[in-house]
Structure 1
Amino acid sequence: MLLTAKYVMPITSPFIEDGAVVVHGDKIVAVGPAAKLKAEYPDEEVRDFGLAAISPGFVDLHTHLRYTALRGLFEDMPYADWKRAVLRCEPFLSHGDWEDSAFLGALEAIASGITTLADITIPGSPVKAIHRSGLRGVVYREVITMRPENVGDAMEEALADIERWKERTADTDRLTYGLAGGPIYSTHPKVYKAIAEHVGSSDMPVAMHLAGSREEADFIRYGSSPFSVHASQGSSFDMEMPPWLPAGVSSVRYVYNWDILDVPNMLVVHAVQVDETDIKILAQQNVAVAHCPRINAKLGMGFAPVNDMLEAGMTIGIGTDSPAAVDTTDMLDEMRVGLMINRAVNAGRHRGMTGEKMLRMGTIDAAKALRMDHLIGSLEPGKKADIIAVDLHNSHQNPTSDPASAVIYTANQDNVMWTMVDGRVLYDNFVHVSGLQRDKIVDTAREIRSRIRHGMNDETLYRQILKRLEEDASDRLKR
């Protein structure tokens, strides 16, 4: 197949006007001027996108697919209150609900030009959604427990889940699995030590949410914070101050002391509440960062010092994070918001943050953060055919001499017209062709939101459901 468009953006080399990409099977075999490649490959089927930009698919460095159906439920809340509300609604969703919610997230990712995503989860719903939808993904199984005596069991359960997931997706190489340390306000630090010991010097992916909010930072450093989180024991969604806190240090230095930052393939999500010393530690440990500007702004978490981290030599990619907060899985919106806020907080000193750099952070830099830049993130011969086309007919910059600027500043998910993953077309002319039943999935998501709104307003029903879940958990422990 020979793909042509007004612009081809390889990312790692200058854009090509009137360019083309040749795809054989699941690989890119050639990138260059359309006239030249048509002459070299005269028998190829030609797909011309016209006034559009062909780009590598976006790499969403952090998301939570299973929370897609929860969007619009908890607006205008600070981070700690929002987190508490999300956790409070979880009892109203069944296993099937979580799967349907994750499928909706996968469909929206495809329609917004995302071809690879990294998801932190405990249940396997994102695995099924990524696998069935045709996306590429890295799924991190999160390990959470507040009790040191339960760390071994929690690790065993996580590793057993990963083995099950591998068996269920053995028919493809599109999925990779790793471990995630739980948030530091709800996880015993011995979990981080256990993950580091298990991973050792292997390239197993590891991730964790870290230094995302002022509430977390104060909780660790001072032992004083409005943070209320779920505890695996009890129904109040609050927890007492653990005996090992306050630690008197930053979040980064706290986990650094427990060795998890020593693993070779480490991804930190957020890194908002970090100082110069923290950045030096992260850079020294070759830790990559998933920058999630929309959720950081919407929940009042702050803005990561991206420019300082880049100057320290760190790898930073873009993540859309939880749809329960940002409402859409839209990498173009994420990149644009990230660029605008970066300009605002660095008034008078852009320090090289441009539309082109932000596009790199959503493609090749995010791929590098996942240690997958040899496979994806740019249009180069030999790489996987993860390719998208963005319609520029309605761009306010049309005509343009800078397609990267036109895409970043004026496009959104509604302008993505075509998505291919691993050489398979999943989205064509603004229509899903992956085989998933989009309308049914959307209707289910609406029903889930209605049920949650009703249930959370009925305190008696909520307590009944919570009691049943606690009884189920108690029965599992007895077994």
Structure 2
Amino acid sequence: MLLTAKYVIPITSPYIEDGAVLVRDDKILDLGPASQLKDKYPMEEVRDFGLSALMPGFVDLHTHLGYTALRGMFGDLPYADWKRHVLHTEPFFTEEDWIDSARVGALEAVASGITTIADISASGVTRIPAQEMGLRARVYYEVLTTQKEHAESVVHEGLEKIERWKDECGSDLLDFGLAPGPVYGCHPSVFQAIADVAIEKNIPVAMHLAGSQEEADFIRYGSSPFGVHVSEHEQGKLAAAYPPWLPAGTSPVSYVSNWGILDVPGILAIHCVHVDDRDIGILRDKQVRIGYCPRINAKLGMGSMPLEKFWAAGLTIGLGTDSPAAVDTTDMIDEMRIGLMITRATSSERFVQASAKNALRMATIGSAEALGIDDKVGSLEAGKQADIIAIDLHNSHQNPTTDPESAVIYTANQDNVKMTMVAGRVLYDNFVHVSGCDRDAIIDRARALRVRIREEVSDDALRRSLIEHAPQDKQDRYNR
């Protein structure tokens, strides 16, 4: 099939006005001016998208789709408070709840023009809706323990899970990796154990790193509000188990580097907000790939990643939407726009590298490079997978325009995505899901889940308040 549109944006080459892309089976065979390709392939069926931009699908470098059902529950909270609230809801989720929540996130991803997701969770359930809806995905299983003696066992348990999931899914669109837990909830021996396994078996690794001031203070000074996440018993274990040189008096980047995790080839570090020039040097020397999530950094007051310094250091940088429980939408266009504006507002080089063209690169080929899959996706090139989206540019607020790259960034949003294709299969067409999923049923289940979670969390908060304020001899009646 020959896909034509007013604009074709290959990403790795200049955009083509009145362009076309030839798709056969799951691959791109050719692209160029529509008139030339129509002459070259006269028998090919043509589908014209009119005043639209055809471009590679977005590669969402960092997601937590299992949290989608929590969107809007904890607005206007700073990072540490938001994190505590989110973690408090987790015990109320069943495995099926996590799947239903992730299904809503996957629905939105497809409708937003996202063709690849990289998801981190302690459940791995995103693999299920990703496969159901035809998304390309890398699912990282989160491994954590505060106890040194359990480090190797939890890592090997994680390894067994991802190997089993890979066998079960049997799809070229899905692969799996490991993710150590955050530094405030993870014994550093876990970092070394993951590094050893990942290097030996060539397993992808991603981790949250230097994302908040609280994390930086925990490593440098040994103090953190995150101690409230665990019981007093667990806090005691944590304090006893961490090495004697903590507080380390150093940065999170230096800390995890000392434990070998940054030696994993192609490791992906998410956030990297609280870094100095020495940290950037470590990240550069270790060839760490960076995940930029500007919306969550801004909304939760986490800080701003020094994007221009990372560009100057030659680091590979991609873009991720992070958690719907914080940013509410899985919208890569919004992520690009906000990230670009934050960088322009804070950078002395704001009009050199902080351009619409580079924002599009981060959301496509940059993220693909960060995942090590840029030989397959991230740009429109002959021989690559046909992961293609069409973005409608015909609306009044988008016209007139002569720069489609700027138009996508500054005038479009997820609602302007009219077609999403993964490996040559159309998943979303004319603003309608066509992958066979029951959109209404998925949303109804998520709404019911949301109501139940709110009620159970509210009841539990009341119970804990009663225990806290009740006389000692009355506490047992509430502590059930």
Deviations 1:35-90 (A, max 9, x none): 11111111211111000000000000000111111101111111111111001011
Asked if residue 439 in structure 1 is aligned to residue 424 in structure 2, the reply is: no
Residue 397 of structure 1 deviates from its aligned partner by 4.0
Partner amino acid, structure 2, of 1:305: P
Aligned counterparts of 1:436 and 1:177: Cα–Cα separation in 2: 23
State the secondary structure of the residue aligned to 1:248. coil
Distance verdict in 2 for CA 1:236–1:46, change over 3 Å = farther
Aligned counterparts of 2:231 and 2:119: Cα–Cα separation in 1: 21
Aligned counterparts of 1:112 and 1:234: Cα–Cα separation in 2: 44
Tell me the equivalent position of 1:196. Answer: 195
Verify the 8 A CA contact 2:398 2:412 in the aligned structure 1.
no
Deviations 1:243-269 (A, max 9, x none): 432111100000000001001120000
Aligned counterparts of 2:230 and 2:295: Cα–Cα separation in 1: 27
Residue 219 of structure 1 deviates from its aligned partner by 0.7
Aligned counterparts of 2:165 and 2:300: Cα–Cα separation in 1: 33
Deviations 1:434-455 (A, max 9, x none): 1111111111111111112211
Calculate the aligned-residue CA RMSD, in Å.
1.9
Verify the 8 A CA contact 1:228 1:238 in the aligned structure 2.
no
Identity of aligned residues (%): 61
Aligned counterparts of 2:455 and 2:286: Cα–Cα separation in 1: 47
Aligned counterparts of 2:435 and 2:128: Cα–Cα separation in 1: 14
Distance verdict in 2 for CA 1:7–1:141, change over 3 Å = same
Q: Which runs of 5+ in 2 are unaligned?
A: 465-480
Q: 55-64 or 155-164, which moves further after superposition? A: 155-164
Q: Which runs of 5+ in 1 are unaligned?
A: 464-479
State the secondary structure of the residue aligned to 1:457. helix
Tell me the equivalent position of 1:290. Answer: 291
Aligned counterparts of 1:224 and 1:56: Cα–Cα separation in 2: 44
Partner amino acid, structure 1, of 2:184: Y
Verify the 8 A CA contact 1:229 1:239 in the aligned structure 2.
no
Tell me the equivalent position of 2:205. Answer: 206
Aligned counterparts of 2:305 and 2:35: Cα–Cα separation in 1: 44
Distance verdict in 2 for CA 1:460–1:72, change over 3 Å = closer
Tell me the equivalent position of 1:45. Answer: 45
Asked if residue 177 in structure 1 is aligned to residue 156 in structure 2, the reply is: no
Tell me the equivalent position of 1:114. Answer: 114
Tell me the equivalent position of 1:14. Answer: 14
Aligned counterparts of 2:10 and 2:352: Cα–Cα separation in 1: 24
Partner amino acid, structure 2, of 1:334: E
Residue 235 of structure 1 deviates from its aligned partner by 8.5
Distance verdict in 2 for CA 1:243–1:252, change over 3 Å = same
Aligned counterparts of 1:201 and 1:351: Cα–Cα separation in 2: 41
Distance verdict in 2 for CA 1:346–1:411, change over 3 Å = same
Aligned counterparts of 1:119 and 1:389: Cα–Cα separation in 2: 24
Verify the 8 A CA contact 2:68 2:105 in the aligned structure 1.
yes
State the secondary structure of the residue aligned to 1:458. helix
Verify the 8 A CA contact 1:210 1:252 in the aligned structure 2.
yes
Distance verdict in 2 for CA 1:408–1:462, change over 3 Å = farther
Number of equivalenced pairs: 462
Residue 199 of structure 1 deviates from its aligned partner by 1.7
Tell me the equivalent position of 2:26. Answer: 26
Aligned positions of 1:68-467 closer than 5 A? 68-170=68-170, 172-200=171-199, 203-228=202-227, 230-231=229-230, 243-244=242-243, 245-346=246-347, 349-394=350-395, 396-459=397-460
Partner amino acid, structure 1, of 2:187: H
Partner amino acid, structure 2, of 1:335: M
Partner amino acid, structure 2, of 1:75: G
Verify the 8 A CA contact 2:124 2:139 in the aligned structure 1.
no
Aligned counterparts of 2:9 and 2:315: Cα–Cα separation in 1: 24
Distance verdict in 2 for CA 1:408–1:232, change over 3 Å = farther
Verify the 8 A CA contact 2:146 2:237 in the aligned structure 1.
no
Report the TM-score when normalising by structure 2.
Answer: 0.93
